[in-house]
A and B are shown apart, each in its own frame.
Chain A
Amino acid sequence: MNTLTHLKKGFNHTGGVTRMVVCLFLFNLIFALLLAIPLFRTLQDEIASSDTASQMTESFDYLWWEEFNDRASGPAELFGPDIIGKGAVLLNLEAFLQFRFLDWPSSLLVFMLLYLVVHTFLAGGILSVFSQDAPRFSMKVFFAGAGHQFFRFLGLMALSWIFFILTAQYLIGSLNGILTGIKETAVSEVSPFIWNLIFSAVVLAVLLFIQMVFDYARILTVLEHRDNIFSSAWRALRFVVSRPLSTLGLFYTVFVCQIAVSVLYAVLIESFPQTKFLTVISAFFIQQLFIFSIIWIRCWLYASQLELFSYKR
């Protein structure tokens, strides 16, 4: 069986548990709404009763935003023109690759950490559903699996953080140091630019590699009922290293699909006018369809990786 077959199987399995994906999507949406509703109130207080309202309906009132940005606190500090269209995706990618999210307001970081913990809980459910011979979504299987695996997954998350922190501390630090050196002696800004892109790609590859290894560690934990997280991580690493073509091929195929969906979304949403109530609501559906797709692709990755692991084991 080749990578495409595993991907196809994973695709079918994910398609068979659409209800689970919808639940995960709703969880994401509701969680995000907990912060978005206060922002809506803030924006309403700021602009609904002033001329800015009509300007912000037509386009983006930069003058107002500069004022708002000086007043904003908490998560609202991250409201700005960067979030428009492709900016939202690029902003997150940059924050992720350069660990800039650590500079975000602490209230938002606490909120995100909470999301991460709950999502770790849900990951046990996702893999339990996919580990069935014929994956079918039921609340019972999902939550039983989630509860059963939670502390093991939490341990794996903590273990993975050691590698993420090492990456942030040493790899990114070293690459930034090298980049500074390149800048200081460069003939033009072109070579630092190219090196910056290369270094970003290296960091991305390392971060995704760590993610992939710990994905397999979670899969291994579920399939083999392992309690020892160190052993799971070690075996997952050996599994990935001994089958680089299939594991990396599968991972990056899904990753490319995610990029393609993001590009498609950016093109679509930026050409979509949002000046009337109906168009704003329509755009909202496109936005949510995008998020749904991202979550669906994450589930597809899990399902495909689980298929691959089961087959190669």
Chain B
Amino acid sequence: MKKLTVLLFVLLIFVLAGVFIHSEWKANRGTEVDFQSNAESVSPPVPVPAADEPLCPQVASYTIDVRLDTENNLITGTERLTWTNTTDNAAIELWFHLYWNAFSNTDSSFLRDSFLQGESFDHFREEDWGFCRIQSIFLVNGNGKDRTDLSTLMEFRHPDDGNTLDRTVFSLPLPRPVAPGETVTLDISFESRVPRPISRTGVYRNNYFIAQWFPKIGVLENGGWNCHQFHSFSEFFADYGTYDVRITLPSQYVIGATGEHRDVMDNGDGTSTHRFVQHSVHDFAWTTGPDYLEHTENFEFLPGRTTEITLLYQPYHRHLKERYLQAVRNAIHFCSLWYGAYPYTTATCVDPAFNSRAGGMEYPTLFTGGAYFLSPERVHSPEGVTIHEFGHGYFYGLVGSNEFENAWMDEGFTSFLDSAVTHEAYGPPLYSRRFFGVPVTFKEVPIPIESGGIDSHRNTSDMDILQRFAWEYMDGESYGANVYSKAELLLRTLQRVMGEDVFGNMIKTYSQRWWFRHPRPQDFYDAVNEFADRDMSPFLDQVIYGSGQLDYGIGQAESRRPPAGHGLYEGRFLKGRTAPGADDLFETEVVVRRFGEVIIPVEVLFQFEDGLDLRESWDGEYRWRKFLFTHAAKLKRVIVDPDFKLVLDVDRTNNSRILKPDRLSALKWTTRWLVWLQHSLEMLTVFGG
């Protein structure tokens, strides 16, 4: 017995030591940030006491009660909308979105755009098309009992393109105007059919992703209703409010949604009703399916600040669970540090089902990642997309910019955010390529943060300007290159020009100043100019409202002995005249050029062979500037923008010049290419002899 006790004691010591070593090892791993993640469980979400105090005025609030019919893919139910007129003018009508009517037929503006992008819908059966139909709409009068039926007054509107077959926006005249500050209540019953997945919504093999699914009021601004049609290249814009949503669905289905999972009620008929509540958000999305695996944990992202992370993931992505979670933890932690502490009590990350076309999308407190089952760690998938979509919780979720009209103000900011968080948490990703579906990483090829978006910007910058309505870009390539790439490059350039600390303060101030409000480009201008040591508007104008490129480079660089004079000097003919002391000096001439249209001051570094370094500034106003030096040593190297501040520069190669060429790298890479070519030639002999 004594031996057994000793044995157990020794075993206990080993186990404790193992746990300690494991935790130490985890803490020392370079790619993980040491967070205090606690209380892990895989049981259904535990209701967390809500911070019920709204964080902002609740302009448009919804109480929704719906049932999902999984046989017919129908969602039927009611919503009570409470809307307050926050403008200075009376509202004589209300405008609404019915986004799912974009999926009714190929004549909607959304699908016309998609068709132009090469998508085909010939394979859609009758039951694959979606819709959102209003069955009744009542204005609830003061006492809450009298209701005025407005159903017959609905009129479909087409403010963007005049497409009369588009049914994604309707207006509703009111019996009497809603005065500034006044609140109205409407009861709406509706039926929506879940489409075959088209764009981040739909059903695939019992996996439902449900977004933009209910009749949703537009935004009344002083200029009128801001309520755009649904387009292939546009996202959303809405006022903040409280969503109290009850969803009834088969009991065996797992559900994730915006906000807190307040309770679940078993209806006794094989269905359950789930209730989710969230205040201070401008949208509500949910997903459900029988196959989701669920993990929930509380996470302390800053000292004393916690939120509940829920991960819904696919069974075939079990091995990616920890990577998803770590990405969410990294995202919440760094976003809280850099843009303000995450204010919500939940964050739900969804690993979408294969073919659901729901990957990489954001909704308040709920977002989707996306991953291939073979994902090497240094490729940053699913990390990159997870961080990006969580980041939208800030730039779109908290900072409520208009995604229809200023898409770069959310996509560009979030692209900047995700690459910053990803590089901070994981380091640069490695270049990777799939051969026969198997990803192969190239450890010699790290992808620097500066390359994020520069290639697409270089190739498409003359197609459009950055500030443009989302559906008005030439095509998807130009949309992506502008709203994602160019805007990210602009922010990274600003970060380096202004200095990291100043920029950090600026972006945090801008973010928090505009939480729960709707900023416009000028509001960003104001924030930049408030923190910058100069007026940055001319530069911002060129990038945001112009289509020119930024490209500085070396035109010419040489060092030589001063040439001997030849000719008449003060009446005397001299041949081979040298100035006193000239034999010890070199004349250096460097021409720096502005090849692009965009003008911004730039620095030039001159390095001489004797170790002397000189820095000069150039305003870049004219097309070129010549620098002349007379010095005891030859020029060794010259570089424009030596600190790589101008990330928008489309040609970095021409920024530097070395006067003694280094041919080793050309030799090295030619030999590597040579062996590839030799191998391909030999492989080709299969087709001959």
Contact = CB atoms under 8 A, between A and B. Distances in A.
Given A63-B451, A88-B676, A283-B671, A28 B681 contact: yes
A156 B688 CA distance: 8
Q: In which size bucket is the chain A interface?
A: 35 or more
Nearest to A51: B656
Contacts of B448: 62-63
A52 B639 CA distance: 12
A152 to B, nearest CB: 10
B37 interface: no
Given A66-B455, A90-B440, A294-B679, A48 B689 contact: no
Contacts of B373: 188-190, 193
Interface stretch (B94-102, B267-275, B512-520, B661-669): B661-669
A50 B435 contact: no
A45 to B, nearest CB: 9
Provide the main secondary structure of the chain A interface.
helix
A259 B404 CA distance: 54
B446 interface: yes
Given A33-B674, A62-B451, A189-B354, A40 B667 contact: yes
Nearest to A192: B437
Interface in A190-229: 190, 192-193, 196-197, 200, 207-208, 211, 218
B681 A64 contact: no
Contacts of B681: 28, 31-32, 112, 115
Interface in A17-55: 28-29, 31-33, 35-36, 39-40, 43-44, 46-55
A49 B668 contact: no
A55 B671 CA distance: 17
Nearest to A40: B670
Given A188-B316, A298-B682, A36 B446 contact: no
B458 A49 contact: no
Residue of A94, A189, A288 with highest tally of chain B CB at under 10 A = A189
Contact of A36 (B435, B437, B677): B677
A93 B435 contact: yes
B122 interface: no
Given A59-B446, A116-B685, A161-B687, A92 B680 contact: yes
B447 A43 contact: no
A184 interface: yes
Contacts of A116: 684-685, 687-688
Nearest to A35: B677
B431 A62 contact: yes
Nearest to B658: A49
Contacts of B354: 186-189
A83 B677 CA distance: 9
A81 interface: yes
Contact of B680 (A60, A66, A101, A119): A101
B455 A70 contact: yes
A294 B682 contact: yes
Residue of B661, B669, B688 with highest tally of chain A CB at under 10 A = B688
Contact of B661 (A53, A66, A75, A121): A53
Contacts of B587: none
Interface in A78-130: 78-79, 81-96, 101, 112, 115-117, 119-124
A57 B668 contact: yes
Given A36-B677, A123-B689, A280 B433 contact: no
Contacts of A117: 688
Contacts of B374: 193
Contacts of B685: 116, 119, 123, 298
A244 B459 CA distance: 54
Given A50-B653, A83-B676, A90-B435, A291 B688 contact: no
A28 B451 contact: no
B102 to A, nearest CB: 22
B661 A274 contact: no
B560 to A, nearest CB: 17
B444 interface: yes
A79 B435 contact: no
A287 B671 contact: yes
Interface residues of B, number: 68
Contacts of A70: 455, 458-459
Residue of A92, A183, A208 with highest tally of chain B CB at under 10 A = A92
Contacts of A300: none
Interface in B430-467: 431, 433, 435-437, 440, 442-448, 450-451, 454-455, 458-459
A261 B572 CA distance: 78
B656 A94 contact: no
Given A84-B442, A190-B316, A53 B682 contact: no
B121 interface: no
A230 interface: no
A240 interface: no
A92 B683 contact: yes
Contacts of B451: 62-63, 66
A83 B672 CA distance: 7
A62 B448 CA distance: 7
Interface in B107-134: none
B205 interface: yes
A291 B675 contact: yes
B372 interface: yes
A56 interface: yes
Given A53-B665, A70-B459, A92 B658 contact: no
A160 interface: yes
B687 A157 contact: yes
A290 interface: yes
B657 interface: yes
B688 A67 contact: no
B665 A290 contact: no
Contacts of B687: 116, 157, 160-161, 164
B651 interface: yes
A137 interface: no
Nearest to B657: A49
Interface in B581-625: none
Given A44-B661, A48-B661, A186-B354, A56 B668 contact: yes
Contact of A43 (B437, B459, B657, B666): B666
B435 A94 contact: yes
Contacts of A55: 665
B447 A57 contact: no
Interface in B311-334: 314, 316
A85 B440 CA distance: 11
A142 interface: no
A212 B680 CA distance: 19
A295 interface: yes
B673 A211 contact: no
Contact of B689 (A57, A120, A161, A283): A120
Nearest to A112: B684
A57 B444 CA distance: 11
B525 to A, nearest CB: 29
A84 B444 contact: yes
A59 to B, nearest CB: 5
Q: Which 9 A-B pairs have the closest CB atoms?
A: A123-B689, A56-B665, A53-B662, A88-B676, A287-B675, A43-B666, A48-B661, A120-B689, A51-B656
13 contacts: A39-B673, A49-B658, A49-B659, A51-B639, A53-B658, A59-B444, A62-B445, A64-B653, A81-B445, A84-B672, A91-B680, A101-B684, A119-B689
Given A81-B445, A186-B354, 18 more contacts: A44-B663, A50-B657, A51-B658, A56-B669, A60-B431, A60-B445, A62-B448, A70-B455, A75-B677, A82-B442, A86-B440, A112-B680, A124-B689, A157-B688, A189-B354, A197-B436, A280-B668, A291-B679
Interface of A: 28-29, 31-33, 35-36, 39-40, 43-44, 46-57, 59-60, 62-64, 66-68, 70, 75, 78-79, 81-96, 101, 112, 115-117, 119-124, 153, 156-157, 160-161, 164, 183-184, 186-190, 192-193, 196-197, 200, 207-208, 211, 218, 270, 274, 276-277, 280, 283-284, 287-288, 290-291, 294-295, 298
